[in-house]
Amino acid sequence: MPIYSESFAAAFGLLASSDRDLMEILALSINVSLASLVLSCVIGLPIGAFLAMRHFPMRDFLVGVFNALMGLPPVVVGLLVYLHLSRSGPFGWLGLLYTPQAMVIAQMILITPIIIALSCQVLEDLHEDYKDFFDSLVVPKRTALLAYIIDARYSLMTVILAGFGRAISEVGAVIIVGGNIDHLTRVMTTAIALETSKGELALALALGFILLAISLAVNFLVQWLKASARRRAYV
């Protein structure tokens, strides 16, 4: 199996030499994922909190919809965003197709339901716990919401990291709306797909290692946060 050893060696070589192309792809991947994560949190956390704290006729239906949307197929999201951003689509005039912004939009659509559904669950549990106490104290709703966010900070960080994990490892949507253009919209996952199809395994493997390392780091961080919060009885 010489191909494996050669590819591994080449991959480590690229990593060790901080290859320019590799670093560019890595930076774009992280930037796109972080941007989509920030937007998703801005949209998703208030909606999650609203669903957790309020009871209204369609509430359970909406929670069910957001739970179901956590499993959105990325290629379907990519296709829908493509249709909307293409020249003949309703937002074609923005000229966003095949840009990093289009990739951010696609990833944001993918991870917002995750942020909403998981944050709703976290905050709903806390709301059940605190409800009578806050009601007894006549705590204003805004203060209560802030208290929920502060007290659920560890769990919410876990939710946010889960969203980041989903964004950074996603390929289907970004390849459709980004087009995998070199030096413009090429991210780790799309580069891995391309390099593998070309038989250029070294770069693909190097990117794979980094992606795996990021994934592991995110998961270890989640575990550490959970353990740390449990130790301090904050969950």
Q: Which residues bind other proteins (CB under 8 A)?
A: 129-130, 132-133, 135-139, 143, 147, 150-152, 232-235
Number of CB atoms found within 10 A of residue 17's CB: 10
* Nearer CB in complex with other proteins: 224/234: 234
Q: How far is the CB of 132 from other proteins (least distance, A)?
A: 6
* Contact present, 152 and 225 (Cβ < 8 Å): no
Give the Å distances, CA to CA, from 59 to 50, 73, 137, 141, 190.
Answer: 10, 24, 26, 18, 38
Radius of gyration of the chain (CA): 21
Q: How far is the CB of 147 from other proteins (least distance, A)?
A: 7
* Nearer CB in complex with other proteins: 48/100: 48
Which H/E stretch holds residue 11? helix 2-16
Q: How far is the CB of 220 from other proteins (least distance, A)?
A: 23
* DSSP state string for 93-152: GG--TTSHHHHHHHHHHHHHHHHHHHHHHHHHHHHHHHHHHHHHHT--HHHHHHHHHHHT
* Nearer CB in complex with other proteins: 36/155: 155
* Nearer CB in complex with other proteins: 4/133: 133
* Nearer CB in complex with other proteins: 21/129: 129
Q: How far is the CB of 222 from other proteins (least distance, A)?
A: 18
Q: Which residues contact 152 (CB under 8 A, 6 or more apart)?
A: 122, 123, 126
Count how many residues are written for the chain: 235
Q: How far is the CB of 130 from other proteins (least distance, A)?
A: 6
Q: How far is the CB of 138 from other proteins (least distance, A)?
A: 5
* Nearer CB in complex with other proteins: 110/235: 235
Q: Is 163 helix (H, G, I), strand (E, B) or coil?
A: helix
